[in-house]
Structure 1
Amino acid sequence: MDGMTWLLNLPEQNLPLILADNGFDVWIANARGTRYSCKHTSLDPSSPDFWNWSWDEMATYDLPAIFDYVSNQTGQKINFVGHSLGTLVALASFSEGKLVNQVKSVALLSPVAYLSHMKTALLVIAANSFVGEIINLSGMAEFDPKGLPVVDFIKSLCLVPGVDCRNLFTAITGLRENCCLNSSSVDLFMMNEPQPTSTKNIVHLSQNVRLGVLTKFNYGRPDYNIMHYGEIYPPIYNLSNIPPNLPLFISYGGKDALSDVIDVKIMLDHLKFHDADKLSVQFIEDYAHADYVMGVNAKDIVYNVVTTFFKHQF
């Protein structure tokens, strides 16, 4: 997704403007490869080399670059908000000691780290069918969800019993599970999202789904892994390495098909030694994945809590 997703709801219902109205200096980031993040000093999006990355690079290079830029502009420590993949990238960075000296506090909404209990039928089947790997072998480095080759792959998966693809948004997020969406925001979302990513990123996420372990990208050959990591298997991101005194607010929903309750609890188990007064966890029984960004009542249930949490950090 690109950063516009945060702004789909009315001004009084979206988190960036709510934070701005509360006196925060708000910066909105865009994921690599999306329409506002397609420029490079030497590579063009038409080149396969442009797409040679996964969320590893987003955690290692992109988020630190964003933090450095904002820190240099403001001279202040940063309150970070992430949703879905944005939480995964942040957790991976923090676990490796990156950004921790620049961050004041962190809010993770619908957190994604472990994915093996994900209930979204289309994505589970795609991961277990090695769709990303197949597309990668075909030489297609850019994964455009609205491009013809990917659409054709998705159509073939939609023939599998139990997969309902009448609406791509429904197939991915489980629209019936999302309790409180603004229908006009959903229409805007479908007009603008999802944006392209790299096929390598899809492969990496699929590896996370299949293995149930949070690791760096697996190149599939011991010699390739040794070349990149100095060992046969890709290193694990150890979330217990996140500094225990880093203020964390985590909110997850009981109806979330992507950030499943069991997977969130596995993540929380890795944070069991976190300072009790620095870890705040919110569970919302009726909330699903998209409610955190497009819920008409998200301000009252989530955003006001996030705002208060940030204001209490010193």
Structure 2
Amino acid sequence: MDPSRPKFWNWSWDELVTFDLPAVFDLVYKETGQKIDYVGHSLGTLIALASFSEGRLVNQLKSAALLSPIAYLSHMNTALGAAAARAFVGEITTLFGLAEFNPKGEPVANFLKALCAYPGVDCYDLLTAVTGHNCCLNSSTVDLFLKNEPQSTSTKNMVHLAQTVRDGILAKYNYGRTDYNVLHYGEAYPPVYNLSNIPHNLPLFISYGGRDALSDARDVDTLLDSLKHHDVDKMTVQFIKEYAHADFIMGVDAKDIVYNAVVSFFKHQH
């Protein structure tokens, strides 16, 4: 399909769970013949948790490291994020008539400008406005990142994430009308992803930051609570007080603090 056509963008993170992640796993598994150690950050943790809860991928999986996990987003405390979640009242699947949500395009820039005028939203530093105060970024890494990011996503995906923020549960996309939901799911409300169904013996490494505004520590506590029956010796939790959302991927000391711990965790699972 062609990205210039609206149909290309008719997906939310449900499709990443159902099609995208399994395709990646199938390819790697086929090429290597080995079970997979998965590392996800942010949305990459959400789709992994949702997949594992449905029993997908677990046969090809050795262990999973989830950095800055987002599953519950009720406490997301970035002023910009909270304003955006209110603005994306789900039912506008094609906001401004756009199926593609391109952060670098004019319509989205105008939308962000309007949000930035909300009381309490300071967009002087957009990265901070979205992720919280990162402690450990250097400017050359950020410059490189901003050359390639943020990439487009679908407006429908943004709406789905906003629903996740507002409803406080992990559920499939809500079409906003009972008849549409019945058509898609056979029931009036979207099915919920039940995280307590994740196999209790699946080795999990979870790392989160004390200053992360997207993956708020209270929401991570809710996630950990839903995993409370997990085998104790199969779960490692790391809390880094001074880290925010982007530190996990761009922090100058992320290798020493996070990645070495992840690699060591993977090695111990064999």
Q: TM-score when scaled to structure 2? A: 0.97
Q: Which residue of 2 aligns with 1:152?
A: 110
Query: Is contact 1:169-1:190 (8 Å) kept?
Result: no
**1:299/1:289 CA distance change after superposition, 3 Å:** same
- Aligned partner of 1:107 in structure 2 is 65
Q: 2:42 aligns with which of 84, 90, 94?
A: 84
1:244 aligns with 2:200: yes
1:71 aligns with 2:29: yes
Deviations 1:127-162 (A, max 9, x none): 112266547153210000110001001101111121
Distance of 1:77 and 1:274 partners within structure 2: 21
How do 1:89-100 residues align onto structure 2 when only pairs under 5 Å count?
89-100=47-58
Find the counterpart in structure 1 of residue 77 from structure 2.
119
- Show structure 1 runs of 4+ deviating over 4 A: 131-135
Gap runs ≥5 in structure 2: none
Equivalent residue of 2:27, what SS? Answer: helix
CA distance in 2, matches of 1:274, 1:106: 14
The change in CA–CA distance for 1:141 and 1:234 in structure 2 (over 3 A counts) is same
Retained in 1: the 8 A contact 2:90–2:176?
no
**Equivalent residue letter for 1:105:** S
8 Å Cα contact 1:132/1:199 also seen in 2: no
Q: Using the TM superposition, give the Cα deviation of residue 173 of structure 1 relative to its aligned residue in structure 2, in angstroms.
A: 1.3
- CA deviations over 1:237-294 (Å, ceiling 9, x no partner): 0000000000000001111000000000000100000000001101111111111001
Q: TM-score, normalised by structure 1?
A: 0.84
Partner of 1:227: 183
How far apart in 2 are the matches of 1:92 and 1:71? Answer: 20
CA apart distance, 1:167: 2.6
Count matched residues: 270
Aligned with residue 209 of structure 2, among 244, 253, 278? 253
Query: Over residues 156-208 of structure 1, what are the superposed CA-to-partner deviations in whole Å (9 max), with x where a residue is unaligned?
Result: 1111121111232122112xx21111221011112221000000000000000
Aligned-partner Cα distance in 2 for 1:180–1:137 = 35
Q: Which residue of 2 aligns with 1:15?
A: none
Are the aligned partners of 2:69 and 2:220 in contact in 1 as well (CA < 8 Å)? yes
The one-letter amino acid paired with 2:253 is: N
Q: Which residue of 1 aligns with 2:248?
A: 292
Do the aligned partners of 2:42 and 2:68 also contact (CA within 8 Å) in 1?
Answer: yes
The residue aligned with 2:157 is 201
Alpha carbons 2:35, 2:60 under 8 Å: kept = yes
1:313 correspondence with 2:269: yes
Indicate if the aligned counterparts of 1:244 and 1:275 stay in contact, CA closer than 8 A: yes
SS at 2:74 equivalent: coil
d(CA) in 1 for partners of 2:87, 2:13: 21
Aligned residues of 1:107 and 1:250 also touching (Cα < 8 A): yes
Distance 2:89 2:114 in 1: 11
Percent identity reads 71
Query: Who is 1:11 aligned against?
Result: none
